[in-house]
Structure 1
Amino acid sequence: MTDKISAPNVYLYAFQLYHNSEGSNNPLWQKCDNILRKFTYKKLTHHLKSPKRSHDQCEDLLLKTPLEFTRSNPLIEGFAQPLQIQDSYALWLNIGCPEDGTADNLDVSFIKEINPENILLIDGDDNFLGQTLLLTGWLTENNLPDNIDYSLPFAELCCNHIDYFKPIANQCRNALLPGDSTPIFYRSGILFGSPIFEYGLISDIANIANYRHLLVWLLCDKQTDKDFNTCQQEIIDLLFYRNKIIKSFQDSRKIYHDLVKNYDEIEEDIKYLQQQLAKIRSSLTTADLETLKQQLKVLLGKALSYTSVLRKLEAFDNTIAINLNNYSDILQKICDTLKTDKEELSILNHFEIKTAPYMRSQIAGDLGYFKHGTDLIESAIASIRGIVEIEQAKSDRALQTRVTVIGVGLGVSGVAATAYPYLIKQDPPNPINFTLSIIISLCLGVIAAAIAFTAIQIWPHLCPKKPRN
């Protein structure tokens, strides 16, 4: 068994939203120029055409398709194909060796020439959706172990002994992405009749800085190459939706951390509120009411912010659902084109039936947990409002009682002062009687006010309450 492969090629699929960076100013095209600089003098940005504002699924952005290049010593060739897909730009870049027999039985270490200084890895901004690297290389019978039955066709032997090729796939990975950028093996399978190995753990997807997606496809059947060429556009679309889903999930993890922080703050505020209410054992003072009103304003502000962040999390889940549906449609289109079923494309179908649903379940769990924060805020706001309304009602009743009592007292005093001259003869006028009338009027007013106050206090207790229906 040898560690050599033939005609290694790397395909870069990268995607970026074109928000506020249309045309040649988009960072994705600038990055492509940086990559091409390692292999050719040509620049992608010099050949771009202005994109049209259309609703087409995919549009070519080159004046002449595609931008091809060749480098000798060693012989490396490739092409760059920029596309516009819906609201995003896509870069399809190929760098590798020709399949004309001039690059057969190359040592795996040759792959380092295709990615000098890890130039193919893109660290984009917030509008960068992600990338997938696909490395292809042809196997020969020399790659098979000696202790197997060679009576079967070569392609069938390769597919039946896929585990034999994991070491060489790992070597290809290490040569292409050395050092800290090396992704961990995830799973393997058969795609279009040839072994394929996927790298990049699902558990690393949330970690934007560490996640790398690499496919190593060891070709053993010419039909594989034909099917690959037939479905090129569908594969681009498929990876576009895949990266959109992953980007939405990664963004949801940022929102998750914001929600954790907000939730903790809300819990602290409610604990503080409970402590403040526990100290109040009688009627609230004006200062207490003012404190509660201020706390109510704070909670209302936090409720608005918290709900807004929670809606963003729901929006990411909706985005994943929409793009997952598109992913499923494209996968079905590939099946229809090749007259196969999704089970035969398990390496691609796994993302639809396992990976993306796992992401949605994570978000669903987060939504279920953090919606309790909304309930906490609503309960706290309702409690504060209830307390403030009760105390305000008490204050209003007390004011009404005081006004009533004072009114009764003043009224009785006025009546008494008016009636006094008619009840006591004032002939001749006596200043003492005038003073006495004032005193008697005031006393009667006080007595009347006291009677009114007592009546107001005991009357609600004497009246029977109406039964509720």
Structure 2
Amino acid sequence: MNHKVYAPNIHLFAFHLRNGYGDSTGEQSNNQLWRKCDQIFEKLKIEDLKLTQKLDQQKFSDSPRVDLLKETEIKDNKVSLPLNGQLLLNDHQVVKISGFAYPLQTHDSYALWLNLRRPDRENGKKTESVDLSILSKFNPDSCLLPEFIESSLGQTLLITAWLTEGQNYQDKQFLRELADQCVEEFIPDPLHRPKFNRDGLLFGSAIFEYGIINQPPPHQHILVWLFCHTVTDTKFEKCYKELMDLFYYRSKVVQSYLNSRKVYKNIYDAYKTIEDEVEKIECLGDKNDLYCQELFQYKGVLKKIPKAALEYSRLLRDLDQCRHMIKMNAQCYEEKLAKIQAKLQSDNLIFLEIFSRKNCLYLQEEIQADLGYFEHGSGLLEKLLSAIRGMVEIEQAEQAICRQDTIKWLGAGIGTAVVVASSSTHLTPENPIHPPFTSRTLHPFITSLLMSAFLGILVGLIARWLIQQRRHKEVVNK
């Protein structure tokens, strides 16, 4: 069953970081929201209206909020750009629409509040209720969704509509079905439709939230607010600036959390790499000796570890910075809530308070748990570094001892050979060496040479055996 509502409104609150603050895409980035707004006008066939031509982005103000419309465009102290157009509901019905575009600059970002609505009055008369299918006409080619807007800080879509007289007396289940149908009409493709999150009351009227923070990006946040009292509209107009700020800080919290998930993946990959290296070291520790190739390999690892440790520390810092940004923006969100409370006295703001008092705390705790888990990675890196250094130093010391022992026994053998070789004095002109098999006895020189070689080898081996025995006793005694 297709329901009807009275004077439906679409409010797009989109936020984008300014160039020079975490963004380096230049002038194109600075014009992102304004260009997208012009493209929305084109899709809605709102002719001869260009927001980019109405802006003065060189405005200077000490205020944290700067209205960007040119002074020549501001009339009756209204800092928003009015717009008017028509929507073709079907082959026979055309309805007028109106709205405004409110461009704003904060200390680090740009904000756009775009309103598209079916007027509640025309020519002094109350307009008729319209079918919910009109909502899809406000969103041709999904031009109001995050995939099209591509704002770096995300967005909130607020759909408001007045209940008709018969709907005012319906129960909560009917209102939920009506809100669901609003979202379905606004986003016909179910694959791009956010899931229902929660419901509540705000300024005396039912409000429904769609979009869950930890769902895969792009994150969508849609509110369907069904007005049943005039006081709701009055309070909304009274607090619209604070509500816009709330959506702004909410977007910054969500974006910080989404950034933390990207950092989490990088840290996880780095942590797995560290664990793999630790396992290699443990396997290597089972061997009695290190080969030269392995020794050089782990010397190379020693050079890489300081760089890996620095990168790992940077990732941990980035993750903690995300947690800090969530905490800071949650506090700003609370301050804006306090201002709304002060303006409206005793109004119930539980629906808005849940985000800062529950969701933000949960997100901070999740990131804190991640930090607690991954901080062990720094300790693993230090242990890995110490283990490799210890193994390399031990192996180098053992090789040095082996070289010393080799020199000792070779020295003993060579010394003996030199002494014995002194018998070469037997080689004289009067007693030359004869060709083989021409004499029945060996020449004295040949005999001395063979004896020196034999005794050199024998003494060297004995010296080597004695040195090894002494080393063995030293190890046993330790």
The residue aligned with 2:155 is: 131
The residue aligned with 2:382 is: 378
Alpha-carbon deviations, 1:132-153, whole Å to 9, x = none?
Answer: 111111123321348xxxxxxx
Alignment TM-score, normalising by the size of structure 1: 0.77
Rounded Cα–Cα distance in structure 2 between residues aligned with 1:285 and 1:175: 71
Distance 1:451 1:248, change over 3 A: same
- List aligned pairs for 1:59-458, cutoff 5 A: 59-63=66-70, 64=73, 65-72=79-86, 73-100=94-121, 102=125, 104-109=127-132, 110-123=134-147, 128-145=152-169, 161-180=171-190, 181-202=192-213, 205-209=214-218, 211-278=219-286, 280=287, 282-340=288-346, 344-396=348-400
**Unaligned ranges ≥5, structure 1:** 147-160, 412-445, 464-469
Q: CA RMSD in A?
A: 4.0
Alpha-carbon deviations, 1:226-280, whole Å to 9, x = none?
Answer: 21112111111111110111111112212222223222233223223322332x2
The residue aligned with 1:9 is: 9
Letter in 2 for 1:88: S
Rounded Cα–Cα distance in structure 1 between residues aligned with 2:36 and 2:150: 15
Rounded Cα–Cα distance in structure 1 between residues aligned with 2:141 and 2:113: 20
Letter in 1 for 2:315: V
- For these two proteins, the number of residue pairs brought into alignment is 433
The residue aligned with 2:32 is: 27
Alpha-carbon deviations, 1:274-329, whole Å to 9, x = none?
Answer: 22332x2x344444422221232344443333332232222211111111111111
Q: Secondary structure at the match of 1:198?
A: strand
Query: CA contact under 8 A between 1:23 and 1:51: conserved in structure 2?
Result: no
Q: Secondary structure at the match of 1:50?
A: coil
Query: CA contact under 8 A between 1:174 and 1:182: conserved in structure 2?
Result: yes
Q: Is 1:42 aligned to 2:49, yes or no?
A: yes
Between the two proteins, what is the percent identity of the paired residues? Answer: 38
Query: CA contact under 8 A between 2:85 and 2:96: conserved in structure 1?
Result: yes
Letter in 2 for 1:71: G
Query: CA contact under 8 A between 1:108 and 1:171: conserved in structure 2?
Result: no
Alpha-carbon deviations, 1:167-195, whole Å to 9, x = none?
Answer: 22222222222222322221111111211
Distance 1:227 1:372, change over 3 A: same
Rounded Cα–Cα distance in structure 1 between residues aligned with 2:228 and 2:357: 27
Alignment TM-score, normalising by the size of structure 2: 0.76
Query: Is 305-314 or 191-200 further displaced after alignment?
Result: 305-314
Query: CA contact under 8 A between 1:3 and 1:143: conserved in structure 2?
Result: no
Letter in 2 for 1:314: D
The residue aligned with 2:424 is: none
Query: CA contact under 8 A between 1:6 and 1:103: conserved in structure 2?
Result: no
Query: CA contact under 8 A between 2:59 and 2:68: conserved in structure 1?
Result: no
Query: CA contact under 8 A between 1:199 and 1:215: conserved in structure 2?
Result: yes
Letter in 2 for 1:116: P
Q: Secondary structure at the match of 2:111?
A: strand
Rounded Cα–Cα distance in structure 2 between residues aligned with 1:374 and 1:358: 25
Query: CA contact under 8 A between 2:146 and 2:220: conserved in structure 1?
Result: no
